[in-house]
Amino acid sequence: MSFRVDLVEGSRIALRSLSAHRLRTVLTTVGVGIGVATLLAILGIIQGLNTSFEKQLESIGPASLYISKRPWVQIGNWWEYRNRKNITMEQVEAVRAQSTFAEVVAPWMSNEEDVSFNGIDLTAIDVTGTTPEYAQVAGYDVTEGRFLTGTDDDNLSSVAVIGADVAGTLFPHSSPLGARIRVNARPFTVVGVLGAKGKVLDENQDLTVLIPLKTYRALHNGQKSHTIGVKVKSPELLDAAEDELVGILRRARATPPSKPDDFAINRAEQLAGMYNQLTGALYGVAVAIGFITLLVGGIGIMNIMLVSVRERTREIGVRRALGARKRTIVLQFILEAVVVSAVGGLLGTIVGLLGAKVVSWVTPLAATVKASTVLFGVGFAAAVGLIFGIWPAARAANLDPVEALRHE
């Protein structure tokens, strides 16, 4: 007898047996379904989190390099970073003049300051002194008014461009343009409002105030290090650009050849690495919980299959007497288990997707599910049926036909 015939007959028997025990089938199916649903909901939420993080990274700029004294992800002695020489305006000019990969170069400095208007105070707002190129490097749009200009910088003007959330808080009912806000008790005229950008790793990008770089330096007349944002022509050039920048900066900073770099070149990927480190273990535990739930469903299947084999011992004896080979019996019972679990997997997939959607409605977590996840859910459930069906099926096939026929 061919495998095809085994398969057709096996499926027919499996379906008949399942429809004969509807309640049992439904309960077993629910067991697997819950497992798949849990796993998919967890995977969906994780995917959603990852997607939203990727979007956040995009807002940092996938094709940008950030030169600063300290790396974003710090390893080693903090005082070694602290004692590094500041990044000066001369180094900014060197980068501007020499880098062939840079499309835009923007220097900036920032600090947390108090910002107020008309009795409303905002504390610890990120105040950044920078140049017109900053908009391109950091990816800000101006929704009202204008961005900083070279003239603002040259004149050391007391003008400010404010982030969307600063504008919303200080000016709930009026346009901020032309208003005089106070930054660290000094008056600044608002000339522009930035479009909303959202958060990156919980840091609100819209609670910010931008002022001209020279104005900022005049306010903080001490020595302070610049950050240089370099937007590269395309993301593929990041590595080449980084190599080039290392050379430019080592020369400009006169770093001795024997010493390692005394500056850091950061990029969005480093945040991704940090993110993965932070969330990897958590995801692992969540996925493990999903798998355990599915395992419980699988044990449910095994249990019910063992009952089914016992109940149908005589039937197995009859089939064997009439010429069914062992593998035919094995296939019959495995198919039964696989059908139950695949149906459970399908139902669980639907519930899991709905679950992920509900989570994304009622919580700030975004949940997205890829088509491949659905296939994975159904396929995985079927595999659970296969694995947990093998043992009961083998037991059925290895029954002695004489004994099986005598079974009451």
Partner 1 sequence: MLIQLSDIHRTYQVGTEEVHALQGVSIGIEKGEWVAIIGQSGSGKSTLMNVIGCLDTPTSGRYLLNGKDVSSMVDDELADIRNREIGFIFQNFQLLPRETALSNVELPLVYRGVGAKERRAKAIEALKAVRLEDRMSHKPNELSGGQRQRVAIARALAGEPSLLLADEPTGNLDSATGEEIVKLFEQLHSQGHTLVLVTHEPKLAARCPRAVRLSDGHVVADGPGPQVALA
The site for partner 1 (CB under 8 A) is made up of 1-2, 5, 9, 16-17, 20, 314-315, 317-326, 328, 401-402, 405
Pairing of strands 264-266, 203-204: unpaired
Which H or E element spans position 3?
Answer: helix 3-20
Quote the CA–CA distance of 191 and 176 in Å, as a whole number: 8
C-beta closer to partner 1: residue 231 or 319 = 319
Nearest CA among 233, 236, 261 for reference residue 248: 261
C-beta closer to partner 1: residue 90 or 408 = 408
C-beta closer to partner 1: residue 220 or 326 = 326
C-beta closer to partner 1: residue 133 or 315 = 315
Q: How far is the CB of 392 from partner 1 (least distance, A)?
A: 19
Q: How far is the CB of 14 from partner 1 (least distance, A)?
A: 12
Contact 353, 44 (CB under 8 A): yes
Contact 328, 1 (CB under 8 A): yes
Q: How far is the CB of 16 from partner 1 (least distance, A)?
A: 6
C-beta closer to partner 1: residue 8 or 292 = 8
Quote the CA–CA distance of 135 and 229 in Å, as a whole number: 11
Q: How far is the CB of 390 from partner 1 (least distance, A)?
A: 18
* Other residues' Cβ atoms within 10 Å of the Cβ of residue 95: 21
Phi (first) and psi of residue 190, to 5 degrees: -75, 125
Distances (CA, A) of 355 to 8, 30, 287, 358, 368: 36, 15, 15, 5, 11
C-beta closer to partner 1: residue 9 or 144 = 9
Question: How wide is the angle at C-alpha 53 spanned by C-alphas 47 and 54, nearest 5°?
Answer: 90
Q: How far is the CB of 316 from partner 1 (least distance, A)?
A: 11
Q: How far is the CB of 385 from partner 1 (least distance, A)?
A: 22
Torsion sign (Cα): 246, 249, 254, 259:
negative
C-beta closer to partner 1: residue 3 or 274 = 3
C-beta closer to partner 1: residue 199 or 314 = 314
Q: How far is the CB of 319 from partner 1 (least distance, A)?
A: 7
Distances (CA, A) of 352 to 25, 298, 343: 20, 17, 14
Q: How far is the CB of 22 from partner 1 (least distance, A)?
A: 13
C-beta closer to partner 1: residue 206 or 336 = 336
Residue 264, classed as helix, strand or coil, is strand
Nearest CA among 307, 308, 284, 288 for reference residue 296: 288
Q: How far is the CB of 300 from partner 1 (least distance, A)?
A: 23
Pairing of strands 64-68, 159-162: unpaired
Token pair in block for residue 348: 């669980």
Chain centroid, CA 116 distance in Å: 36
Contact 122, 166 (CB under 8 A): yes
Phi (first) and psi of residue 339, to 5 degrees: -65, -45
Q: How far is the CB of 326 from partner 1 (least distance, A)?
A: 6
C-beta closer to partner 1: residue 177 or 318 = 318
Contact 73, 101 (CB under 8 A): no
